[in-house]
Amino acid sequence: MTTYRTLAIGEDAADAVTVGIERDAEGKIVAAVWWPSRGDVDADEVAYPSAAEALAAAEAAKTLHGFSEVAIMLQSDELWQAQWGELAPKPNQLTDEESFELARATEASRDA
């Protein structure tokens, strides 16, 4: 299963094809794919009626144009669906295990 890095809204990714996923006015999940200009590759953006189609197009564009990754930009986190792949933890975001360990260490230091 593919793991994708997530970007904050408005964040640039110089060496990535980005897939933006959002709900349209009717509540349907739609997506767009874009990439920056680099070398002899022109910047481009294309809208898709589904995230699955956008992800497939993004993977193809990544391979065709030599970008290093496909990155994801979500209107809101709950839009992501597991069948599309996995989202890597955001930088400075703790895993459940790290959160538990931090809480345990904090409580232990309070008891000392």
- pLDDT tens per residue, range 45-80: 999 999 999 999 999 999 999 999 999 999 999 999
What confidence tens digit (pLDDT) does each residue in 21-52 have? Answer: 999 999 999 999 999 998 899 999 999 999 99
The whole domain housing 78 covers 3-111
- Name the residue among 48, 55, 19, 24 with its Cα closest to residue 35: 19
Is the pLDDT higher at 82 or at 106? 82
Residue 8 neighbours by CB under 8 Å, 6+ apart: 73
pTM: 0.79
CA angle, residues 13, 17, 20, in degrees to nearest 5: 85
